[in-house]
Chain A
Amino acid sequence: MPFPSKELTGRPERSEKDLVARCQAGDVDAFETLYRSQAARIYALASRMAGSADEGEDLLQEIFLQAYRKLGSFNGNSSVGTWLYRLALNHCLDFVRSKQAKMGKITDTLDAEASVEPSAKRETPIARIDLQRAIERLPAGCREAFVLHDVEGFDHREVGEMLGIAEGTSKSQVFKARMKLRAMLPR
């Protein structure tokens, strides 16, 4: 069930500064306001990267707790949303990397599965919820590249840096993900 995400009211800069100051002073209610304005975006990133809503929720928690603790070092050079997003992204990347360490690195090879049989034109539009579910089911490796490139909008060079892979590998992983999605989504 969705909750209304509270927008920061008033002149953005001013109220954001106040909000951050109150959070830094330990005001939990103020932190809640910050949470409500940012959580949806962070949760989306985390659950898509992790491939599961449950892990996404755990990551969301860790990220915000970390944010609460590190707010003291937030210097106001960017908006708090951007700062939080970067923190979240790094946290998700750490998570992904440690998972990979257990499961083996992403390689460049495309397995046979990726090739899809020729088929008739898609009839039904892609429903957002089907897409969301399908993304969660993508295998680790191509999923993160896809989320970072197609969802979050980073280019292949940036994705490569973040995931520790070559730019070309990022490209082929994103392609692999798209083909898998194509196979998974109902027509």
Chain B
Amino acid sequence: MHPNELTLNDYADDALTGATRAEVERHLESCEVCRGVVDDLRAITRATRTLTPIDPPAAAWLRLAAQIRREPTAKPSAPETAPSSIGGHLRRWGWLAAAAVIAIATVVGLRLGPMATRHAAPASAPAVESAPSADAQSVESELRQAEAHYDKAIKGLEQITNAGQGALDPKTAATLQKNLSVIDQAISESRAAVQSEPNSEPAQASLLDNFKMKISLLQDTVSLINEMRKGNDAGAARIVSGLKNKGE
């Protein structure tokens, strides 16, 4: 009695003609159920046509840029790091540095690029040193560049979280703040360790791990704030699925 659904689908697409089409139309006049199917199919097609391009996460460009800068033809805007025997290790950091920075740069209207480290640490120098010669120095400068990127991202994220804290309930806001401080403490310790022993791999690894951890927590805080703001409190809980220590 009812036309099969594939036929209704064709009808919804205006792909039926002549007698078949007329038959279906007659049926639809008296059948609410089939009308519902056709209406739904058309609603889906209409909605699908409104789908727009999707902005990728800003981290995507940074990762890409890091890879492109390693291409033989690329002319990077930042000074090149000297080749070193720890080459593989440095490349890994380069990737991490790029991966750290997020949408923030655009949100706060800043151009990406090296900048002086935010915290005035004793051995602090401008973030990127020009053409370091020794291996140890290139390791340090690469690390400082990574730090600079992380710092920038963190600063931007912090601006957003500070502005948006009101959207979170006080207890959650306090928990997140406290844990950000825990990570900050860890970052200071790692930084001090790197300064006192620049060649120590555990020190370097811990610094970068802690940066990643901070970014991850800040990102998730921002998402949580956004969800709360939308008044979609239940949606906020969905965000919690991102609130974990993001590893790789």
Contacts and interface: CB of A to CB of B under 8 A. Distances in A.
Contact of B53 (A25, A40, A122, A131): A40
Interface in B158-196: none
Interface residues of B, number: 44
A27 B103 contact: no
A181 B44 contact: yes
A65 B77 contact: no
A27 B65 CA distance: 11
Contact of B69 (A28, A56, A60): A28
A121 to B, nearest CB: 6
Given A39-B56, A61-B67, A121 B36 contact: yes
Contacts of A125: 43, 47
Interface string A32-76: 100110011101100100000000110011001100110000000
B64 A35 contact: yes
Interface in B28-72: 32-33, 36-37, 39-41, 43-45, 47-58, 60-61, 63-65, 67-69, 71
B75 interface: yes
A32 B43 contact: no
B5 A175 contact: yes
Interface stretch (A8-16, A98-106, A112-120): A112-120
A150 B45 contact: yes
Contacts of A185: 44
A43 B55 contact: yes
A41 B73 contact: no
B38 to A, nearest CB: 11
B73 A26 contact: yes
Contacts of A68: 68, 71
A126 B67 contact: no
A178 interface: yes
Contacts, number: 127
A28 B61 contact: no
**Residue of B9, B36, B55 ringed by the most chain A CB atoms within 10 A:** B55
B106 interface: yes
Nearest to B72: A26
A115 B4 CA distance: 10
B50 to A, nearest CB: 6
A120 B36 contact: yes
B74 interface: yes
B19 interface: no
B31 to A, nearest CB: 9
Contacts of A2: 55, 103
Contacts of B234: none
A4 B39 CA distance: 36
Contacts of B231: none
A150 B61 contact: no
B110 interface: no
A167 B60 CA distance: 36
Interface of A: 1-5, 25-29, 31-32, 35-36, 39-41, 43-44, 47, 56-57, 60-61, 64-65, 68-69, 114-116, 118-122, 125-126, 128, 131-132, 150-151, 172, 175, 178-179, 181-182, 185
Given A39-B61, A118-B36, A125-B43, 7 more contacts: A3-B107, A27-B75, A40-B54, A122-B39, A122-B40, A131-B48, A175-B5
Interface of B: 5-6, 9, 32-33, 36-37, 39-41, 43-45, 47-58, 60-61, 63-65, 67-69, 71, 73-77, 102-103, 106-107, 222
27 contacts: A32-B61, A36-B61, A39-B60, A43-B56, A43-B60, A44-B51, A44-B52, A44-B53, A60-B64, A61-B64, A64-B64, A65-B64, A68-B68, A118-B33, A122-B36, A126-B47, A128-B47, A128-B51, A128-B52, A131-B44, A150-B48, A151-B48, A175-B9, A178-B9, A182-B37, A182-B40, A182-B44
